[in-house]
Amino acid sequence: MTLEPFGARLRRAMDTRGPLCVGIDPHASLLADWGLPDTIDGLERFTRTVVEALADRVAVLKPQSAFFERFGSRGIAVLEQAVADSREAGALVLMDAKRGDIGSTMAAYAATYLDPASPLFSDAVTVSPYLGYGSLRPALDLARESGTGVFVLALTSNPEGAEVQHAVRADGVSVAATMLDHLRAENADAAPMGSYGAVVGATLGGSLGAARADLDINGPLLAPGIGAQGATAADLPKVFGAAVRDVVPNVSRGVLRHGPDAAALRASAERFAAEVREAVSAADPAAG
């Protein structure tokens, strides 16, 4: 089975449902805030509530795999069901797994999330390129073959990331810029948008500096940091410049804290999506 390319499907979902990705992050403190036990039953109730509330209306849902893996095989079963139910309701699923390895191991990770025969088959997956961009080739090739997408960590918002991502090669090009250059090449000639994206923190603001010019990769830019981490929709044009139309803002706690009330979850997601759409349209009238 080969789907329509992920970039085209994502562009359509963002245009029709609003440019927003909502994380599914059932960490222990959030389960407690919802009045749920930190057990497999609490995990299942939390996840089902989020999927039922949002999967028929948001563009992207992003389960954080680690919060399911910690419950072992039963947690993975909950994740499998969430992926299937979300996709059936029309949401694109971005598996936040941040996998990165070499050779046959990377190929196995790719098959886990991007092979249509896999129980965890998702529309896209996050990957780490810091064993070298070439180590991602099994995932990049399978994504192209299956019509799925890959989001590569490039300019993350955590302070520790700078020691690797801002490091400069002998030719004066930063590691992050190198990753963006690779992605731009993968997306060459894709329309309306490529399927190979970068993760770039919405909280970076002025620290991007000259790197802002490298963000036009003809592909999606997953932007964590909206909401609880301090960034707002209004910050997006300032951070991403001309690439703002391709930004997929990621909100997790900003929406999830309104649970377990399904109506409140929906209202929060719709409010964030409206704010993002307004900010993008103001910066790029053609995107309105």
**98 in catalytic set:** yes
* Catalytic, out of 57, 87, 98, 271: 98
190: phi > 0 → left, psi -120 to 50 → alpha, else beta; which?
beta
Which residues participate in catalysis according to the annotation? Answer: 98
